[in-house]
Structure 1
Amino acid sequence: MVVLVVATTKDPASIGPAAAFLAMPGWSPGPPIAEGMESFTNGNVRLLKHEHSIIEEDNLDQRWQEATGEPVSEVIFLSKHTAVSNRPALTVHPIGVPHLRDDETPPHGGTPGWAAIPNPRIGPLLRLMQKIAAEQGLVPEFEITLEATHHYKHAHHVLRKGLGLEDGNAVGSWQGNSEKVLLGIGGGHYAPRHMDIVNKDGVWVGHLLSGYSLPMETPSQINGKTSGEVAGMWKHSIKVSYEATKAAFPGGEVIAHLDH
Structure 2
Amino acid sequence: MKMVTLVVATTADPASINPAKALLAMPGWHPGPTLEGGIRSFKNGDSLRLLEHDKFIIEEDDLDLRWESATGETVVELFFLSRHAAVSNRPALTIHPIGVPHLEDGDVLPQGGRPGWAAPPSPRIGPWLMLLKKLAESHNLVPEFELVWEGIGLGEGAPVGVWSRKEGIWVGHLLSGYSLPMEDPGKSNAKITADDIGGTWKQAIKVAFDATKAAFPGGEIMAHLDHK
The TM-score with structure 1 as length reference comes to 0.72
Equivalent in the alignment of 1:132? 135
Are 1:25 and 2:23 counterparts?
no
Shift of 1:60: 0.6
2:81 corresponds to which letter in structure 1?
Answer: L
Distance in 1 between residues matched to 2:141 and 2:72, nearest whole Å? 41
Indicate the SS of the match to 2:225: strand
Indicate the SS of the match to 1:128: helix
Equivalent in the alignment of 1:184? none
Assess, with a 3 A threshold, how the Cα gap between structure 1 residues 137 and 231 changes in structure 2: closer, same or farther. closer
Equivalent in the alignment of 2:201? 234
Match of 1:244 among 207, 211, 215: 211
Residues 9 and 57 of structure 2 are in contact (CA less than 8 Å); yes or no, is this contact kept in structure 1? yes
1:212 corresponds to which letter in structure 2?
Answer: Y
Shift of 1:179: 5.6
Residues 81 and 89 of structure 1 are in contact (CA less than 8 Å); yes or no, is this contact kept in structure 2? no
Indicate the SS of the match to 1:3: strand
Residues 179 and 252 of structure 1 are in contact (CA less than 8 Å); yes or no, is this contact kept in structure 2? no
Match of 1:212 among 165, 174, 178: 178
1:211 corresponds to which letter in structure 2?
Answer: G
Residues 125 and 161 of structure 2 are in contact (CA less than 8 Å); yes or no, is this contact kept in structure 1? no
Assess, with a 3 A threshold, how the Cα gap between structure 1 residues 24 and 71 changes in structure 2: closer, same or farther. same
Shift of 1:125: 1.1
More strand by share: 1
Shift of 1:84: 5.3
Residues 220 and 226 of structure 1 are in contact (CA less than 8 Å); yes or no, is this contact kept in structure 2? no
1:123 corresponds to which letter in structure 2?
Answer: G
Distance in 2 between residues matched to 1:175 and 1:211, nearest whole Å? 30
Residues 105 and 112 of structure 1 are in contact (CA less than 8 Å); yes or no, is this contact kept in structure 2? no
Assess, with a 3 A threshold, how the Cα gap between structure 1 residues 221 and 75 changes in structure 2: closer, same or farther. same
Unaligned runs of 5+ in 1: 143-171, 181-202
Match of 2:61 among 58, 62, 69: 58
Equivalent in the alignment of 1:74? 77
Are 1:108 and 2:96 counterparts?
no
Indicate the SS of the match to 2:222: strand
Match of 2:162 among 153, 158, 174: 174
Shift of 1:22: 1.1
Root-mean-square deviation over aligned CA pairs: 2.4
Indicate the SS of the match to 1:218: coil
Distance in 1 between residues matched to 2:216 and 2:31, nearest whole Å? 34
Distance in 2 between residues matched to 1:81 and 1:221, nearest whole Å? 37
More helix by share: 2
Shift of 1:126: 1.3
Which structure ranks higher in relative contact order (CA pairs < 8 Å, sequence separation ≥ 6)?
1
How many residue pairs were aligned? 206
Identity %: 62
Shift of 1:86: 4.5
The TM-score with structure 2 as length reference comes to 0.81
Assess, with a 3 A threshold, how the Cα gap between structure 1 residues 26 and 219 changes in structure 2: closer, same or farther. same
CA deviation vs aligned residue, 1:14-69 (integer Å, no higher than 9, x gap) = 11111111122211111111232110011201100000012111111111111111
Indicate the SS of the match to 1:74: strand
Distance in 2 between residues matched to 1:30 and 1:50, nearest whole Å? 13
Are 1:256 and 2:223 counterparts?
yes
Assess, with a 3 A threshold, how the Cα gap between structure 1 residues 226 and 102 changes in structure 2: closer, same or farther. farther
Shift of 1:204: 1.3
Equivalent in the alignment of 1:96? 99
Indicate the SS of the match to 1:109: coil
Distance in 2 between residues matched to 1:259 and 1:78, nearest whole Å? 27
Match of 2:41 among 34, 39, 42: 39
